[in-house]
C-alpha cells in the first residue's frame, strides 16, 4: 500500500472508485460524488496547481519532491487511479447493458438527468437575468442535441475535442461529463474504447482531457467566480434543453447508423416492439430519487461543515 506521512492510500482510492463509477453514467456527476465524499475542494486545488508554476518547480531548485508536494501528488494519483479502475470496470458493463436493454438503460439515464437538472436549478438565485440565461441555455441545449452539426469530427480530432470539453464538465458538481460526451456524439465510442482498451482512441481523448483540464478549467473557474449565478443558470438551461438526448424511446432514421430521433412509446412499439413502458417509468422514478437523495446528503454535508 502506498503511504506518505499523514496520508492513507485506500480511503482516497475508494473515493476515486465512486467518482469514476459516476462519470461513466450520463446524468450523474463525479463532481457531486467528490463533494459527498469530502474531496472536492482538495481536488480543485490540486488541479489548479497543475500549471506553469508547478512545471517551474519540477525543473527548478525544488525538483520532483517540491513539485509532487505542490500538486498534492499522493492524493491526486490515488484518486485518479481509483477513477480509472472504476471506469475500466463499469464501461464494459454499460456497453453490454446498452446493447441488450437499451430502453431500460436510457430510462435510468433519463431519471438521473432530470434529477440533476432539478438540483442545479436549486442553486440559482432566480431573477430576470438568470431566467434570460436559462432560456438561452435551453435554446442552445435543444439546438445542440437535435442538430447533426453538434457531432464532432470523426477520428482522433473528434476524440481530442471530446476530451477537452467533457473534462470541464467533470469537475463541476451536477454536470455530467458523460452527458456532454453523449451530446457531442462520442459517448458510445469512448465507452467502447475503454471497454476494449483501444489505445489508438483513448490516447487522443486523454490528451484532450489533459489540455482541457489545464486550460479551459481555469476559464470555467473564472466564470464561476465572476458570474456564478448566470453561469449556473445557463448550465441548467443547457441540460434541460438537451434532455431529449436521453429520451428512452428512439428509432433509427433511414439507413444511416447512429442517426435516430425521439418518439412516443406507442410509436416505438409499432417500429421496434415492446416499449417496456411500466418498467421504464419505475426506473426513471427510482433513478431520479437516487440523485435527489444524493443531493440531499450533499446539502446536509455542507451544512455540517
Could you read off the pLDDT tens digit of each residue along the chain, which spans 305 residues? Answer: 444 444 578 888 988 998 888 888 876 778 777 866 778 778 877 877 776 666 777 777 767 887 888 778 889 899 999 999 998 888 888 888 888 898 998 998 888 888 888 888 888 899 999 999 999 999 988 887 776 545 667 788 889 988 888 887 776 666 778 888 887 878 888 988 988 889 999 999 999 988 887 777 677 667 777 888 998 898 888 888 888 888 999 887 655 445 577 889 988 888 888 889 999 999 999 999 988 887 777 777 666 65
Burial 126-151 (b: 16+ CB within 10 A, else e): eeeebeebbebbbeebbebbeeeeee
How far is residue 12 from each of residues 86, 209, 301, measured CA to CA in Å? 13, 21, 18
Q: What angle do CA 278, 290, 297 make, to 5 degrees?
A: 160
Q: How many domains does the chain have?
A: 1
| Within a domain: 294 | yes
Query: What is this structure's pTM?
Result: 0.70
Whether residue 266 lies inside any domain: the answer is no
- Residues 6+ away with beta carbon under 8 Å from 46: 71, 72, 75, 76
SS3 130: helix
In a domain, 71, yes or no: yes
Looking at the domain assignment, is residue 100 inside a domain?
Answer: no
- Give the residue ranges of DSSP H helices in 101-198: 102-121, 128-146, 155-170, 177-183, 187-196
Look up cell 456564478; give the residue.
228
Domain assignment present for 286: yes
Residue 40, in any domain of the structure? yes
Segments forming the whole domain that contains residue 151 = 3-84+108-247+275-298
Residue 256 burial (CB count, 10 A): 9
Whether 291 maps to a domain, the answer reads: yes
DSSP secondary structure of 218-248 = HHHHHHHHHSHHHHHHHHHHHHHHTGGGG-S
Q: Is residue 285 part of a domain?
A: yes
Amino acid at each position: 500500500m502506498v503511504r506518505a506521512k499523514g496520508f492513507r492510500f485506500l480511503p482516497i482510492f475508494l473515493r476515486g472508485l465512486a467518482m469514476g463509477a459516476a462519470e461513466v453514467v450520463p446524468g450523474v456527476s463525479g463532481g457531486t460524488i467528490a463533494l459527498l465524499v469530502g474531496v472536492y475542494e482538495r481536488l480543485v486545488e490540486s488541479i489548479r496547481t497543475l500549471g506553469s508554476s508547478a512545471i517551474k518547480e519540477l525543473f527548478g531548485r525544488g525538483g520532483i519532491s517540491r513539485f509532487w508536494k505542490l500538486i498534492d501528488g499522493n492524493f491526486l494519483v490515488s484518486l485518479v487511479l481509483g477513477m480509472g479502475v472504476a471506469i475500466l470496470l463499469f464501461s464494459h458493463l454499460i456497453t453490454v447493458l446498452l446493447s441488450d436493454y437499451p430502453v431500460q438503460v436510457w430510462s435510468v439515464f433519463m431519471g438521473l438527468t432530470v434529477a440533476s437538472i432539478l438540483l442545479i436549478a436549486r442553486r440559482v438565485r432566480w431573477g430576470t437575468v438568470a431566467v434570460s440565461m436559462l432560456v438561452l441555455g435551453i435554446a442552445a441545449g435543444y439546438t445542440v442535441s437535435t442538430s447533426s452539426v453538434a457531432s464532432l469530427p470523426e477520428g482522433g480530432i473528434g476524440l481530442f475535442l471530446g476530451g477537452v470539453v467533457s473534462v470541464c464538465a467533470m469537475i463541476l458538481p451536477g454536470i455530467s461529463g458523460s452527458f456532454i460526451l453523449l451530446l457531442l456524439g462520442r459517448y458510445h465510442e469512448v465507452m467502447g474504447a475503454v471497454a476494449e482498451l483501444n489505445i489508438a482512441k483513448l490516447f487522443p481523448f486523454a490528451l484532450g482531457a489533459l489540455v482541457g483540464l489545464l486550460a479551459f478549467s481555469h476559464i470555467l473557474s473564472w466564470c464561476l467566480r465572476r458570474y456564478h449565478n448566470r453561469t449556473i443558470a445557463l448550465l441548467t438551461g443547457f441540460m434541460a434543453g438537451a434532455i431529449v438526448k436521453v429520451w428512452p424511446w428512439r428509432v433509427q432514421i433511414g439507413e444511416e447508423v447512429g442517426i435516430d430521433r425521439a418518439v412516443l412509446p406507442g410509436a416505438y412499439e409499432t417500429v421496434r416492439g415492446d416499449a417496456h413502458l411500466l418498467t421504464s417509468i419505475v426506473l426513471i422514478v427510482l433513478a431520479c430519487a437516487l440523485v435527489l437523495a444524493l443531493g440531499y446528503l450533499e446539502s446536509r454535508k455542507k451544512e455540517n461543515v
